[in-house]
Amino acid sequence: MTQINSKIPQGPLAQKWSNYKASQKLVNPANKRRLDIIVVGTGLAGASAAASLGELGFNVLNFCIQDSPRRAHSIAAQGGINAAKNYPNDGDSVFRLFYDTIKGGDYRAREANVYRLAEVSNSIIDQCVAQGVPFAREYGGLLDNRSFGGAQVSRTFYAKGQTGQQLLLGAYSALSRQISKGSVKLHTRYEMMDVVVIDGKARGIIARNLRTGRLERFFAHAVVIATGGYGNTFFLSTNAMGSNGSAAMQCFRKGAYFANPCYAQIHPTCIPVHGEFQSKLTLMSESLRNDGRIWVPKKKEDAEAIRAGKMKPTQIPEDERDYYLERRYPAFGNLVPRDVASRAAKERCDAGYGVGATGLAVYLDFSEVINRLGRDVVEARYGNLFQMYYKIVDEDPYTTPMMIYPAIHYTMGGIWVDYECMTSIEGLFAIGEANFSDHGANRLGASALMQGLADGYFVLPYTIQNYLADEIRTPRMSTELPEFAETEGAVQSRIQKIMAIKGNRSVDSIHKQLGLIMWDFVGMSRTKESLQKALDAIIQVKHEFWTNVFIPGESEDLNVELEKALRVSDFIEIGELMARDALHREESCGGHFRLEYQTGDGEALRDDENFSYVACWKYEGDGKEPSLLKEPLIYESVHMQQRNYK
Amino acid sequence: MEKTIHITLKIWRQKGPQAKGAFETYQLNDISTDSSFLEMLDILNEKLISEKKETIVFDHDCREGICGMCSLYINGHPHGPDEDVTTCQLHMRKFKDGETIIVEPWRSRGFPVIKDLMVDRSAFDKIIQAGGFVSVTTGGVPDANAIPISKEKADEAMDAASCIGCGACVAACKNGSAMLFVAAKVSQLALLPQGKIEASRRAKAMVTKMDELGFGNCTNTGACESECPKNVSISHIARLNREFLKAKLKD
């Protein structure tokens, strides 16, 4: 049986990263110039990696599907970024950030990776400030912090409600500087179609020029995937319309393991679904839970009256409101982690206490903080979020509570990587949300930005050298090699196969069908039966796609429907993989909640004896079941226990 | 309860950069006023697919008003008639039953049409590449709290930095000037001690690149500010002019 080698360095936890850096191989400046690196994606991970590798002197090729690197969906992250600076003197430390992240991930993340993440977190803040990122400040001129879910300290740095935007623009500016120097060559409106593997090593990609529709070949000594998560498998999610999991699936089909696909994060505070034509869901930042209080009516009659439009939330007196998070989790209150908050909302709505026209919503109420601190303070903290809510819902959250409901937001699972961020294919790396490594079964708020930038600025630029040091004798290869031609040929035939179907269904309609199956059967709570049902239903969707989809226009032209079709064909495969993984994991942990496995009071019940491992799925061929490999999770510094936020 | 409207759309269709474009008229019935403008276009595209026709191409991505990818010149306004929103956040409740809505791409020499409503805004990237950054490399920087920055300066820098690079300012300007876009970046970095060191050099490099790429001059009409979905103020243009002048005096 294949052994999983995670390459975790020896030594005590706190010294592993220093030891690694002290003994790793490096590439000298003259050789760096002769080595090419492809970075796919320009979000926080991709842009920071491409910029940093370019600064080091490597020859970088950077790709994105949008018209500019600045459009990547990291831009939409609102609330903030964590770091263990302990500026507020409230007891934070590298160990505490590490511990909170491991616990928040429900003891399903790799200790060594998470410790390294916490360790480099402080450098990220220093780097961003040096780039001119306008973080929020106190009147004394120093940086301000706020709290996020799953932590009892204030360690979140923020720039209004636009932290992701500002961090991405910082990375984008560093990237732009390297582009102007010629060390990074940028390809916008290009989409990766496959990875080219030569003698077992990643040696380039086939990409489709989205403006012309033509396939092009690119060689590199190493390939880095930074293409984000696969939340759009659910059709409706907080991800951007173009966010997709296709690069991950291309790597999977070439032999890279896909780890923990069933760990998907459902964010508790999103604007509820309002109609069939809806194209995406909008997040309301977790930072709102610093001041907003979540409630539903205590009496079912009141909830029913609200749903029927006969009553307003402001008419319900204080003692008739059920602040269910404060009631169930007094220690963390409204700031419990996302998975806990989402399940609690679903529990109340399923029990008949939900509000809004559909009954699938709960209130997020700011009246208490507005009375206590005044409207101006609330406006300064959350003004842009309140405005966004008003523009979408047409209700003023200063005078009536917001309505929120959970939605798919982030995927903790992803391409399996070792400690060096290298996948199971040599020379193929994965960073940011695209890999699986740091968040276990649930990610804490404000930690995605931290991980993306940690990987791109401070981890990959080191670890990739340990690989490339052995490649200095490898000359640039011709893209006329048979492996490039074969890979391009396979992509071309997949495209032609889709174009030739000429059925009657639009891509979106099939994607929506898949999304509903995922939400109903592979969503917030899963059972053996629901997952088996999902697997059967996904097979039908797959059949429908490959026999009845219709793509107008030509393949060698700008063709948005074809782009979507290629992505949806992969979402179908990911959906299947998610259901299969969720079915095999007979326990509840973090974002993966199996109704059969819960404690007496409805909390997730882990089975550490049997499931304390990373599930790595290996592709075995088209139409065949993937095989399962296990990377055991060994905890040396943290004692595993049931998560308790009470 | 859900309200619906009937609308007529006149939409610019253009097969490619060199092709001759024209308006085409479409009728859409029973559009929910709760749907967004782009969701309405999704519905139209769904209808076109059912008729086996090519869909209307338009740029969009995050659909929450922050990525800056969506554009569209709607009834004579970049991002349409609503205030302080991008097209993706514009909702159909802003239109009347029976209304005719005219949809065009950004029209500017700096942004050539690629197809239908999609334009090429790579000129903005080139302007940033010319100098829209602080020249620091990864690592070796001081502690984040080593240099205090007054809250006022930090907040003003943040207001400038909220530019999403959508190009509405250029589309709104009769001269096709990119001054507001350039000023937002120059101003953000000039306000902060980290960026101040290169402020004049940056201003000169970015303005020179803007001119070179065929954007027009600023004649202070203020159209850019009033159409900016993020309310970026033209006061930043004054700061850009100061930095530019300083650079010129040094020459």
pLDDT in tens, A10-38: 999 999 999 999 999 999 999 999 999 99
Residue of B54, B61, B164 lying closest to A553 (CB–CB) = B54
pLDDT of residue A1 exceeding 60, the answer is: no
pLDDT in tens, A220-248: 999 999 999 999 999 999 999 999 999 99
Across the beta sheet with A402-411, the strand order is A264-270, A402-411, A362-365, A293-297, A321-322
- Do B166 and B219 lie in one domain? The reply is yes
- Do B75 and B160 lie in one domain? The reply is no
Q: At B36, is the pLDDT very low, low, confident or very high (cuts 50, 70, 90)?
A: very high
Q: What is the CATH number of the domain that holds B209?
A: 1.10.1060.10
Residue A506 touches partner B, C-beta closer than 8 Å: yes
C-alpha Rg value of chain A to the nearest Å: 24
Bridge-partner residues for A362, per DSSP? A404
Inter-chain residue contact A561 with B158, CB threshold 8 Å: no
- Do B146 and B81 lie in one domain? The reply is no
For residues A576 and A533, give the distance between their C-alpha atoms in angstroms, rounded to a whole number.
Answer: 11
What would the two tokens of residue A250 be? 């291309």
Which CATH architecture group holds A482-604?
Up-down Bundle (1.20)
Task: Please report how the helices A482-501 and A560-584 are oriented relative to each other, as an axis angle in degrees rounded to 10.
Answer: 100
- For residue B75, the enclosing domain spans 4-114
Bridge-partner residues for A334, per DSSP? none
A506: amino acid identity, one letter: S
In order of A305, A340, B243, the CA distances from A352 in angstroms are 12, 19, 61
- Do B158 and B219 lie in one domain? The reply is yes
For residue A367, count other CB atoms closer than 10 A to its CB.
Answer: 16
CB A302, CB A309: distance < 8 Å: no
In order of A560, A629, B26, B183, the CA distances from B204 in angstroms are 39, 58, 47, 11
Q: Which residue, A258, A367, A320, is CA-closest to A616?
A: A258
For residues A637 and A535, give the distance between their C-alpha atoms in angstroms, rounded to a whole number.
Answer: 38
Inter-chain residue contact B63 with A172, CB threshold 8 Å: no
What is the model's pLDDT at position A644?
84
Assigned CATH class of A267-407: alpha beta
Residue of B64, B124, B149 lying closest to A282 (CB–CB) = B64
- Do B160 and B233 lie in one domain? The reply is yes
CA angle A179, A557, A570 (to 5 degrees): 80
pLDDT of residue A2 exceeding 80, the answer is: no
Average pLDDT over chain B, rounded to an integer: 96
Across the beta sheet with A36-40, the strand order is A184-187, A59-63, A36-40, A222-225, A428-430
pLDDT in tens, A167-217: 999 999 999 999 999 999 999 999 999 999 999 999 999 999 999 999 999
Sign of the Cα torsion B126, B131, B134, B139 reads: positive
Q: What is the CATH number of the domain that holds B50?
A: 3.10.20.30
- Sorted by where each begins, the domain ranges of chain A are 13-76+162-266+410-471, 267-407, 482-604
Segment A78-107 shows an average pLDDT of: 96
CB A165, CB A156: distance < 8 Å: no
For residues A540 and A319, give the distance between their C-alpha atoms in angstroms, rounded to a whole number.
Answer: 50
A148: amino acid identity, one letter: F
Q: Which of residues 14-43 of B touch A (CB under 8 A)?
A: 16, 32, 34-36, 38-39, 42-43
What is the model's pLDDT at position A275?
82
pLDDT of residue B121 exceeding 60, the answer is: yes
Q: Per-residue DSSP letters for A249-304? A: HHHHHTT--EE-TT-EEEEEEEPPP--TT-----B--GGGGGT-EEEEESSHHHHH
For residues A425 and A437, give the distance between their C-alpha atoms in angstroms, rounded to a whole number.
Answer: 16
- Do B246 and B126 lie in one domain? The reply is yes
What is the model's pLDDT at position A549?
98
Phi/psi for A80 (5° steps) reads 165, -175
Q: If you search the block for the tokens 């908050």, which residue do you land on?
A: A341
pLDDT of residue A263 exceeding 90, the answer is: yes
Segment A101-130 shows an average pLDDT of: 97
Q: Which of residues 31-50 of A touch B (CB under 8 A)?
A: 48
pLDDT of residue A643 exceeding 90, the answer is: no
- Do B175 and B86 lie in one domain? The reply is no
For residues A508 and A568, give the distance between their C-alpha atoms in angstroms, rounded to a whole number.
Answer: 9
Q: At A556, is the pLDDT very low, low, confident or very high (cuts 50, 70, 90)?
A: very high
Inter-chain residue contact A174 with B38, CB threshold 8 Å: no
For residues A168 and A170, give the distance between their C-alpha atoms in angstroms, rounded to a whole number.
Answer: 5
Cα dihedral A170→A172→A175→A177 (10° resolution): -70
- Do B104 and B136 lie in one domain? The reply is no
For residues A177 and A259, give the distance between their C-alpha atoms in angstroms, rounded to a whole number.
Answer: 35
What is the model's pLDDT at position A79?
85
Cα dihedral B242→B247→B249→B251 (10° resolution): -170
Tell me how close the Cα of B221 comes to any Cα of chain A, in angstroms.
Answer: 27
Residue B181 touches partner A, C-beta closer than 8 Å: no
CA angle A357, A358, A362 (to 5 degrees): 85
Q: How many domains does chain B have?
A: 2
CA angle B166, B169, B171 (to 5 degrees): 85
Decide: helix, strand or coil at residue A414: strand
- Do B125 and B242 lie in one domain? The reply is yes
Q: Which of residues 58-87 of B touch A (CB under 8 A)?
A: 59-69, 82, 84-85
pLDDT of residue A274 exceeding 90, the answer is: no
Residue A71 touches partner B, C-beta closer than 8 Å: yes
pLDDT in tens, A39-64: 999 999 999 999 999 999 999 999 99
- Do B137 and B107 lie in one domain? The reply is no
Q: Which residues of A touch B124 (CB under 8 A)?
A: 68
- Do B91 and B137 lie in one domain? The reply is no
Residue A89 touches partner B, C-beta closer than 8 Å: no
Q: In the 8-state DSSP scheme, what is residue A433?
A: G
Alpha helices per DSSP H over B84-197? 122-129, 151-161, 168-172, 179-191, 193-196
Average pLDDT over chain A, rounded to an integer: 96
Q: Which of residues 90-149 of B touch A (CB under 8 A)?
A: 91, 93, 114-115, 118, 120-122, 124-125, 128-130, 132-139, 141-145, 147-149
Which of B89, B114, B139 lies at the terminal end of a domain, its last residue? Answer: B114
CB B153, CB B198: distance < 8 Å: no
In order of A431, A456, B74, the CA distances from A264 in angstroms are 17, 23, 38
- Do B190 and B148 lie in one domain? The reply is yes
For residues A485 and A491, give the distance between their C-alpha atoms in angstroms, rounded to a whole number.
Answer: 10
In order of A8, A445, A554, B12, B113, the CA distances from B16 in angstroms are 52, 43, 13, 12, 7
Inter-chain residue contact A392 with B89, CB threshold 8 Å: yes
Q: Which CATH superfamily hosts domain A13-76+162-266+410-471?
A: FAD/NAD(P)-binding domain (3.50.50.60)
Which of B114, B133, B150 lies at the terminal end of a domain, its last residue? Answer: B114
Give the β-pairing of B77-78 and B100-104.
unpaired
What would the two tokens of residue B172 be? 């709104």
pLDDT in tens, A607-625: 999 999 999 999 999 989 9
What is the model's pLDDT at position A638?
94
What is the model's pLDDT at position A530?
98
Q: At A579, is the pLDDT very low, low, confident or very high (cuts 50, 70, 90)?
A: very high
Q: Per-residue DSSP letters for A588-617? A: -BTTB-BTTSB-TTS-B---HHHH-EEEEE
For residues A124 and A83, give the distance between their C-alpha atoms in angstroms, rounded to a whole number.
Answer: 8
pLDDT in tens, A296-335: 999 999 999 999 999 999 999 999 999 999 999 999 999 9
CB A526, CB A582: distance < 8 Å: yes
pLDDT in tens, B96-115: 999 999 999 999 999 999 99
Q: If you search the block for the tokens 């926080």, which residue do you land on?
A: A44
For residues B249 and A145, give the distance between their C-alpha atoms in angstroms, rounded to a whole number.
Answer: 42
Which of B67, B97, B114 lies at the terminal end of a domain, its last residue? Answer: B114
Q: Which residues of B touch A394 (CB under 8 A)?
A: 91, 93
